[in-house]
Structure 1
């Protein structure tokens, strides 16, 4: 998606290139597609836990690779949800020093289980000040409306905030918080086929998958209600066998 100059073609209830044919998405048991868009999934990986890798996985893998995150990099993951938990797993596996930043203290235990070295409560003013100008990279996965400025202050010289969460409202960004330390903000949108295959191969090598809850399609409305209340750890996956 990063390199498509004409714009990507969405496959989730969007239109094909002709502007008329509806792309119905992935809620089906069979699909016919061009071989250029087929990915190989290792038998080592649990299929139900692989499904979210094709969205949340590549959405976080791609910008972290672009930012050259590795051993010695200080990374802050903002938000622990479907995107955040994958960003956390990848950053830790790359050898970075990873801090999970959340507005909820209840997320600390899970953050440490998933590989975080540190936990930072964003509502703790003293703790946030302690981490001022600390991080090389911040991966912002939060889709709720929020002010970017308190997080930008956490970036060190030439630090970058990678945006993958999409708030409904335009975020607050104070120019001085970018001018200081020559900080930058950049975005990233999912990823292409080549990089997605690279990610899947890496996941097979490192045994990385998403944390999921498998549900029958008959429970989709209840699952949606739970999702709106942030009651999912960390992705729902529909068991298509339940269609029969």
Structure 2
């Protein structure tokens, strides 16, 4: 066992504060790493505040992690001391169900083990995330990072925001000749724009804010539509092959479903605190449209995403913060006052 230092919430109303705890000693199949950077995901806030009503306290959030390997177990073959690695939203799964066998650990029939807010297989203990100085993770859930050293902080959000948007874009085979909508320009949305553009799609960004237009075009969108403008929306009726909806607040889905062409799909990746209003069934059946969902990505696909982003020079747009500013970051995140992801420099812990 080794002593780790991090920041934790101890109740839904307590601010995150310094917290020391024990990490297991690396086993034969484990990789130990020093955490260099950790992105700040909205899921961290949901969990710290128990907004999904499943938090195990004390809670050390953080699942967008970039680090450097400090030790490996005797059976580890893919990593060595000194390697740059990433850890995303999962650190284990049952490894024997059909989804796990297919490389879809995020859909594990027995429930994957989250990087924080476990419980861990097989003994049910809580897991503590990347708001900490070091971690020990099973080799099969560690990713290789091939971006340059100057990009490491901006790579961290790829481990959640990047894979959350990449996976559905790949699943629905987005590519050249496709007209793709991205709804929302936040931590997820700005990655969706970058990745869909790199895949060769004609990207249209939907936003409620005219002020986002310039940024969306800079990030790779070819067009920007203010979704509150009925005329702008009507001009795109029945024209989209695919829409990726990243908004994490309840809203009317029908206005976007009506933009899909025959056999078009809208996939939801935002997780609102309250349900969306139910869509009108006729908006689906009249054009054989599909409404779908997607959850992060499996380990193989996450590695594919990291390699794709390295090849295309894609990282997240970030603002780096010291660890002791996490509560301020949460407050600003709730106001959408960040472009587009906070990342903690763990050297400040």
Corresponding position of 2:139: 35
Structure 1 unaligned blocks of 5 or more: none
* 1:127 corresponds to which of 232, 257, 270: 232
Per-residue CA deviation, residues 48-92 of structure 1 (Å, 9 max, x unaligned), is 001100000000000000000000000000000000000000000
Q: 2:324 matched to 1:218?
A: yes
Q: 2:291 matched to 1:166?
A: no
Corresponding position of 1:143: 248
Q: TM-score, normalised by structure 2?
A: 0.68
Q: 3-state SS of the aligned residue for 2:287?
A: helix
Distance in 1 (CA, whole Å) between partners of 2:226 and 2:348 is 40
* 1:228 corresponds to which of 334, 338, 342: 334
State the number of aligned residues: 243
Distance in 1 (CA, whole Å) between partners of 2:267 and 2:153 is 28
Distance in 2 (CA, whole Å) between partners of 1:77 and 1:180 is 23
The aligned runs of 1:183-198 (5 Å cut-off) are: 183-198=289-304
- Larger RCO: 1 or 2 (CA < 8 Å, sep 6+): 1
Corresponding position of 1:26: 130
Corresponding position of 2:101: none
Per-residue CA deviation, residues 103-159 of structure 1 (Å, 9 max, x unaligned), is 111110100000000001100011111111010000000001101011100000000
How much does 1:3 deviate? 4.1
How much does 1:6 deviate? 1.8
Larger Rg: 2
Q: 3-state SS of the aligned residue for 2:144?
A: coil
* 1:63 corresponds to which of 149, 165, 168: 168
Corresponding position of 2:193: 88
Structure 2 unaligned blocks of 5 or more: 1-104
Per-residue CA deviation, residues 150-173 of structure 1 (Å, 9 max, x unaligned), is 110000000000110112222121
Corresponding position of 1:204: 310
Contact in 2 for aligned 1:2/1:188 (Cα 8 Å)? no
Q: 3-state SS of the aligned residue for 1:31?
A: strand
Contact in 1 for aligned 2:118/2:124 (Cα 8 Å)? no
More strand by share: 2
Q: 3-state SS of the aligned residue for 1:90?
A: helix
More helix by share: 1
Contact in 1 for aligned 2:117/2:127 (Cα 8 Å)? yes
Q: TM-score, normalised by structure 1?
A: 0.96
How much does 1:44 deviate? 2.5
Name which of structure 1's ranges 25-34 and 92-101 shifts more when overlaid on structure 2.
Answer: 25-34
Q: 2:347 matched to 1:241?
A: yes
Distance in 2 (CA, whole Å) between partners of 1:65 and 1:166 is 20
* 2:285 corresponds to which of 164, 179, 195: 179
Distance in 2 (CA, whole Å) between partners of 1:48 and 1:20 is 32
Contact in 1 for aligned 2:147/2:155 (Cα 8 Å)? no
